[in-house]
A and B are shown apart, each in its own frame.
Chain A
Amino acid sequence: MKAHNKGQIRIVEAFLSGLIIFSAFAISANLTITQNSVKNDDLAAVGLQALVMLDSDGSLAKYIEDENWNGLRDALNLLLPTSVCFNLTIYDENMQQVNMDTISNGGFSSQQIAFVEYVCASQGVTFRVYIVHLLLAVVT
């Protein structure tokens, strides 16, 4: 009878200690995710501001209509911080990809990638809307 009780106590001990350790890990993991999202928000804000500045005089839509992908890449290279790499994709109003060439300044080596969606309108005679998807990451 005594030996049977001892076994029960060991099982309860093991269960409790396991619970404590796992709960500590669970809390830590949740807090880590919060920290990452803040960094991505900052990066997205930087990317959005660069697109807004390019669009402020209609340059962004002009790059797209002229299919001047190299010009757009170089402009983003200048406006974004040196340590940020990007990949840009442009869609028309039917979500068909407009740029057939890659608009990027290098491969992404970071796990933290920020995403910006920006809608810009052409300032030409024919009204067109473009949806710009910008992916950003910090070079590590």
Chain B
Amino acid sequence: MPAISIDTFFACSLMVLLVVSAMAASSMLLSPYINGVGNENIAKRYGEIAKYLLLNVGKPQDWGQKSQTIPEVFGLAKARSDIPYELDIDKVSRLNGKNQYALSYATIFSALKMSDVSFRIELNPIFEVAINLTGTHPSVNETIYQFQILTEKHGIPVQAELKGYIIARNYFEAKNVSISDGEVSLNVTLPNEVEGPALLVIIARSVCNAKIVSFGTFAFAHNSGEPEETCNFLKLSPLNYALNVSYLYPEISLLDAYALTFNYYSSLTQTANSSQSVEYGIPYFVDSSPILMAVTGLNSTSFFIEWVAYPQIPLKIGADFTESMSLSDVFAYRYIVTVNSALYECMIWLGGS
């Protein structure tokens, strides 16, 4: 074989090798970015859907207020609102599975009219309030309970003003406002003749902005056994400024009902009742605060306290993406929304169905 043929053979082989290796390297380098471009389009579409959920009022516009109305078109925005991302208090409450008038995921999925999109919506206060009972000091006439109250956002302390309420059988006390630098100690004194269990309600308002509010509750034993979990005796369903209370046991009788905000509180008055349910009117408080309602009663002879927030948060509804096999197609969007003049954090997850 002449030397020139060998040279040509090696040169051609080298060229082919270079081209093939360049193609392989290029495809390896580019493949994540090509996928990224596809994901970018999906992310943009899902981002627009998330905005649509929060900025669209739905059809009919007042589907939240009417307990029997199923929306033809799903949207959470408050009708006739001038504030962007202001959600309707009743539409939000109807997303909570504990509400008697809650929409099911299937109903919302149909009303969204996007068969290829599954979603999850979570609504929470912007910061958390945690209450811990740190000490109990009984004496002859009264018992002092010492609580540690933490106001934090993902572990970072939040300066907040705290308003406390204590409720027990035939007992109601509103505490003075105290300031928390992220952690504060609060003493609650209860006379020994008061029958428990008792409920401590804390409504916290950020020092830097009065619209950023949160709340926490803590039920504790006082001349009683350990308190049972909430929703054990009553189903509390706030809607359209009325609190529907359904009995979960036949021998239940109600005692008192209270509505609490940061600045105001009031006893609730019954507007309707039947053998298995009672309805209370909820006052229209002019306050940037969730309304917490506590209802006391007897199951036969044992005393109980149940509570609910209006808007009925924290809430979670939708698909559970944590168990999904295709995690790469799930996109999360975080929005700050206004409900009843207070700010909350709304997380929306969207993915393929």
Contacts and interface: CB of A to CB of B under 8 A. Distances in A.
A28 interface: yes
Contacts of A31: 30, 33-34, 36-37
Contacts of B18: 16-17, 20-21
A82 to B, nearest CB: 5
Contact of B334 (A13, A46, A52): A46
A67 interface: no
A42 B335 CA distance: 12
A24 B26 contact: yes
A71 B84 CA distance: 23
Contacts of B159: 74
Contact of A81 (B40, B83, B334, B338): B334
B154 A82 contact: yes
Interface in B3-18: 4, 7, 11, 14-15, 18
A78 B212 contact: yes
Interface in A75-97: 75, 77-79, 81-82
Contacts of B53: none
B11 A9 contact: yes
B126 interface: yes
A42 to B, nearest CB: 8
Contact of A35 (B25, B33, B126, B208): B33
B343 interface: yes
Nearest to B341: A57
Contacts of B341: 57
Nearest to A19: B22
Interface string B115-154: 0000000000011000000000000000000000000011
Given A20-B22, A56-B338, A59-B211, A82 B153 contact: yes
Tell me the interface secondary structure of chain A in the complex.
helix
B33 A13 contact: no
A49 interface: yes
Given A20-B18, A57-B211, A13 B11 contact: yes
A24 B30 CA distance: 9
A54 interface: yes
A21 B22 contact: yes
Range of interface residues on chain B?
35 or more
Contacts of A81: 334
Interface string B327-348: 0000000111010010100000
Interface string A40-71: 00100110011011101101000000000011
A14 B14 CA distance: 10
Contacts of A4: none
Given A13-B11, A71-B208, A74-B207, A24 B85 contact: no
A53 B343 contact: yes
B158 interface: yes
B248 interface: no
B39 to A, nearest CB: 9
B43 interface: yes
Contacts of B11: 9-10, 13
A49 B22 contact: no
A79 B156 contact: no
Interface in A17-32: 17, 20-21, 24, 27-28, 31-32
A56 B206 CA distance: 17
Contact of A75 (B19, B30, B154, B209): B209
Contacts of A82: 153-154, 156
Interface of B: 4, 7, 11, 14-15, 18-19, 22, 25-26, 29-30, 33-34, 36-37, 40, 43, 47, 83-85, 126-127, 153-154, 156, 158-159, 206-209, 211-212, 334-336, 338, 341, 343
Given A75-B212, A79-B336, 15 more contacts: A17-B22, A20-B18, A20-B19, A21-B18, A24-B25, A28-B29, A34-B40, A35-B36, A42-B47, A71-B207, A72-B208, A74-B206, A74-B207, A78-B158, A82-B153
